[in-house]
Amino acid sequence: MIRIFSLVLFLSVFTVKAQVADSLQRKVFLQGATNFRDMGGYTTSNGLKVIWGKVYRSADLSKLTPQDLEEFEKRKIKTVVDFRGPIEIKQAPDKLTSNVKVINLPAGSHQVNPNGIYLQLKTKVATDSMMRSFYGVTDSLAFRYKPFFATLLTQPAESALLFHCTAGKDRTGIGAAFFLIALGVPKEQVMADYVASNYYRSDENKRMIPRLKSVGFSEEMVQDLMGVKESYLETTFQSIIAKYGSLETYFQKELGLGKKELARLQNLYLEK
C-alpha cells in the first residue's frame, strides 16, 4: 500500500513538474484570462512538430485588459472561435477589438447556464458520473467542430486563431484533442494537453472551492466539476468509436476531414 501511494505521489509530482516546464513556453500570461496557452510544440508520430504561434486555446475572454489586447495584436490573433451558448455569452461577453473576427459555434450549449449548473448539481452526489455523461453525448459535436475545422483550414498564413469556451477545459478540451489527433499527435500527448487544464486552472479552481462548498458541494464534487480527468475525454473517444468504429472514420464522415483535408491541415499547422 505504501509503495502504491509513493508511486502515485511520484507520478503526481512528476506530472506537475512536466507541466510547469512546458508552461514556460506554452502559457500566455494575461491579466484577464485563464488557461490561455499555445497549441504548438507537440511532436507527431512521424516526428514533425505543431507550429508555435498559430493556434491558441483559452477560457472566456470577458475580462481582457488593454495590455491583454496588445498581446493579442502581438500574436496576430485575428480569429476567435467561441463554443459557448447565448446565455454564457450574455453573462460574460468577450472583450475584443473590432479587427478580431468572432465565430460563435454554440451547438449543444444553447441552454448552458453556469449559475444554473451549480444550483442543479447542488443536489447531485455523483458529479463524476455527470461529467462522464456530458462527455458521452456526442450527437452535437459535429455541429460544433466541423465548422471549427473548416475555419482552421481557411486561416490566412499570416494570422493566428484562438478557440475557447467558459472554463477552457471541456468543450475547448475536446476541440484541442480533435485538432491534435488530426495532426497526428500521439494519444498520450493529446491526453497530457487535456489534463494540463488542472495545472493552468489551479489558482482559479482554488478560488472556486469555498464558494461552491458554501452552497453544499463537497470538496470531491468541486474537484470533479472544476477539474478534468483522462476518463472524461476517453468517454468521448469510446462513444465515438462505438458508433463509427474509429476516430478516423468519424473525422471523415462527420467533421469533413478526409485524406485531402487532413493533408492540408497538416501542411498548415506542422513545421516543414
**CATH code (residue 159):** 3.90.190.10
- Beta-carbon contacts of residue 24 (< 8 Å; ≥ 6 apart): none
Question: What's the structural domain count of the chain?
Answer: 1
User: Do 136 and 113 contact (CB within 8 A), yes or no?
Assistant: no
219 or 25: which leads in pLDDT: 25
The span from the CA of 133 to the CA of 109, in Å, is 15
25-78, pLDDT tens digit by residue? 899 999 999 999 999 999 999 999 999 999 999 999 999 999 999 999 999 999
Between helix 141-153 and helix 247-254 the angle, nearest 10°, is 80
Q: Which residues contact 161 (CB under 8 A, 6 or more apart)?
A: 54, 55, 56, 77, 78, 79, 80, 81, 151, 152, 155
Question: DSSP readout, 101-135?
Answer: EEEE--TT-TT--HHHHHHHHTT-S-HHHHHHHHH
pLDDT tens profile 119-176: 555 545 467 677 788 899 899 999 999 999 999 999 998 999 999 999 999 999 999 9
Range of the domain at 78: 2-269
End-to-end alpha carbon distance in the chain: 49
Select the more confidently predicted residue: 118 or 270: 270
Q: Taken in order 11, 12, 15, 16, is the CA torsion positive or negative?
A: negative
